[in-house]
Structures are given as structure tokens and as C-alpha cells.
Amino acid sequence: MITPNSDQTGSLFRLATAGSVDDGKSTLVGRLLHDAQAILSDQLASVARTSAERGFDAGEALEQSDREELAEQPLDLALLTDGLRAEREQGITIDVAYRYFATDRRSFVLADCPGHVQYTRNTVTGTSTADAVVLLVDVRNGVVEQTRRHLAVATLLRVEHVIIAVNKIDAVDYSEEAFRAVEQDIRAVAAELGSPDPRVIPVSALHGDNVVTVSERTPWYRAPEHLGQALLPILEELPDADASLRSEEPLRLPVQTVIRPHQDYRGYAGQIASGFLQPGDRVRLQPGAHVTEVTAVERTELQTQLAGGEGMPQLAAPGESVTIQLAGEFDAARGTLITDPDRPAVELDELTTRVAWLADSPLKPGARVLFKHGTATVKALVTAIDDRLDLSTLSSEPAQELELNDIGTVQIKLASTLPVDDYSVSKRTGAALLIDPTDGNTLAAGMIRVPEPEEEPEAQSDEEWLSS
């Protein structure tokens, strides 16, 4: 049972919701906010009034503005997330809507992504920073193309936790058979995509079944072999895998700016993408082979407070924004990547990148774009399109161009060398954006593939050398 918002909250967890139109996504988000009591009284009253206008009976509680009574009345909970008037009138979500709420165990940032296929770009945006994705599926419709698309996006972006909420279970009289059929299809799609086995939950967002507590109306889900957990307790317990991965990955510090107030001081400022850093550490400046030593790690007063206060070790952790000083002088600027010299990034000027194409006009070979990687932005040319992912069969097929919302593999030639990682190794230094050089709009989100190093041929013996 959750409790009202409290300052005694645990770790911050980023959550995204996605699903096809009319799968009940906004209602589920509204249910979470409502049951977490993350709604102001006046907002609740406004939702009750609009719900009454739409045929939901808020009864006497609306007239008396009684919060407890209102909370017990039938409400159109989708109104809590469809904030814009135009969207409310159409009953859809267009933009990514961010909501914040907390239980006594964890704080959440929730990105409510739109369901229409033409807003897939917004779904990519909302999902890109999520620790977990809750994907809605209408039990009556089962797996549809949008389900495959959203699952493919979550897999490509390496979202660690995927939860499938099979919604509207009340519409099939809480049928286990109907749920199991959808669950089987979902697991088959996930296996084809190579995504981690998702958690699958029967849910009724409208009535609150299995959202906060396990429902008495799905006794078959309560069986131990199905874990029998409701959605919110699962979200409260999921580990923040991204934080632990960033701690295990090698040092990556993209230089955002070089601070040089006078000739005797040169500081390199940026946010640590992964790994740790402290004075005395050896680092490499990439692109290039310069290896030097960190002489100081500096924080502002606010950064010091956030890092734990005065007297703490100078060890800087992933996610921290710091300024460092280095032994010697180097021609390093914004875009330089400071790395672990024993595990450096790979320097490439030609890349293979999996992209989610987000522009209205199709992508064709020969397109000139800007390639943004970390704090570096360089000119680039799309030299070839290798394939496109067929979302109906989940197989790659040859393609001459990529259209809006297509996912495909492209070859890119860069105007200058960049230090990069494979996206499967590092989400931050393996990701990139393709940008329109004419107006600065984002064209695509890209996941970099670094080729496997070629194996050294075995040395030939003198006899083999002579005979060959």
C-alpha cells in the first residue's frame, strides 16, 4: 500500500510509458498519479467536473469539493495527463508529458509518450533516458504494429527493464486464457528482437486492478509462479541498472568547455559519462594519443554539496559535473573526450549506425547532416543505407531509403575522426544524433556499432613462409 508523497523518498527512477492509441495508457498513468495521491485538490476537482460532463458520475462529492469523496468517484483519469486543451478534446497525447510523483520508497520521473505512429519520435525521446518502460497492450487487440515498434525502440535503446501491462483485462471478464494468449505473443516478439524477457502483468487501469495492489479478480495471477506483483511495487523494487553500469564502464569525460581566465590556469569542464576520476589518475585525450595526469578535480560550492559536502574525497563519480586540471598543456577543446588510457574509445571517421529516422522527408544516400556525439558536432555524409527493420516480420530487409519512423542501418562518413564506443558497451558514448544542418532539427537518433577488431594472422614458420 502506498502512502502520500513524502520527503522521505528513496532513489530517483525514470519511467516511460508507451502504447498504441486507445490502449488506455493515459488512464494507467492517471491511475498511478491518483493512487499515489500526486494530484492537487483543485486539479482533482477539475478532473471530476470534466468527468461528470463526459458522463462519469462525480455525484455530490463534486458539489461539496470533498477530496476523499471525489477520490472515490468514477473519474476519467486520462484527463490527468492529457493536459493540453486540444489534446483533451481529441482524447490523445501529442507531446511527451513529464510527471513527477513519489511513494515512500522511491521518487519517479514519468515520461508519458504519445501513441500515434506519427509521434514515434516523441516516444524515442521519452524512452531514451528511461530506466524502465511500461508498454501498454489492449488485451482485446493483442500485439499490434505499434507494440512491435515500441518494443523494438526499447530494445535498440537498451532500456534495462521492460514491463508489459496487458490492459483492459476487465473487458474480457478477467480471463486468464485471453491474457496468456497475449503474453505468449509478447514473449515471442521479445525473443525475436533479442530483448530481455519482459515482465507481463494483467491490468485494468480503469478499475485499478494490479496497478497498486494485486487484484482479487485475477486469482490466477496471484499464483507464486507468476510472482503476482502489481505494477507499482515492481517499479519500486527495480534496480537502477544504468547507474551501476556507468560505474563499471571505463572513464569517459566529454569536455564541454575549456576554462582559461588567465594564462596560468586551464581547466577542462564537463560531466563524467562513466567511470571515476581523481587527482593522480592517468588519462588520455581523444582523438589523439596524448596521455597525461590529472592534477586537480574541482567542484563549485553547489557541486560540492551535491557530492557530499566538504572533506569528501576528490574522487568524482559518473554523472558529476566537474572541472579538472591536467599536467602539461594540450590543444584540447570542446568535443575532446578524456578517457581511460588502458581502455580508450575507438577512433573512427567512418561509422555503421542503427538509426530511428524521425524526419518527415526520407533519408537517402548522399544526405549531408551534422553528426552530434557527446559535446562534439562534425559534418557527415550518409554514404549508404544497408537495411530497414520490417516491424511485421522483425527481419531486416534491403532498403534504398528510410521513411519517417523507420529503423534501419546506415553508413556514415565523418568530416573528422571521433572517439566512440559501441552502443552495446556504453549508452552515452555509443549514441549520436543526426541533425539537419539547415535548421538544427533532429533527424534521427543513432546507436553506433563498432566493428569487431580483426584477428591477427598467426605468424608463419620459416618453412611455411618459404613454401608460400
Q: Could you list the pLDDT tens digit for every one of the 468 residues in the chain?
A: 333 344 434 577 888 888 877 778 778 888 888 777 766 666 667 767 776 666 665 444 444 445 455 455 566 666 666 554 444 455 555 555 677 888 888 888 888 776 666 566 667 777 777 889 999 999 999 998 888 888 888 888 888 899 999 999 999 999 999 999 999 999 999 998 888 889 999 999 888 899 988 899 998 987 665 567 889 989 988 887 667 778 889 999 999 999 988 888 999 999 999 999 999 999 999 999 899 999 999 887 776 766 665 555 678 888 888 999 999 888 889 999 999 999 999 999 999 999 988 888 999 999 999 999 999 999 999 999 999 988 667 678 899 999 888 889 999 999 999 999 998 888 889 999 999 999 999 899 899 999 877 766 666 777 777 776
Query: What's the predicted TM-score (pTM) here?
Result: 0.73
Structure letter (DSSP) for residue 423:
T
Strand ranges (E), 257-308: 257-259, 267-271, 282-286, 290-298
CA 227 – CA 272 distance, rounded (Å): 38
Q: Are strands 257-259 and 337-339 parallel, antiparallel or unpaired?
A: unpaired
- Residue 368, amino acid: R
Whether the Cβ atoms of residue 124 and residue 445 lie closer than 8 Å to each other: yes
Q: List the beta bridge partners of residue 369.
A: 380
CA 81 – CA 238 distance, rounded (Å): 24
Q: Which whole-number Å values give the CA distances from 29 to 100, 158, 176, in the listed order? A: 11, 23, 24
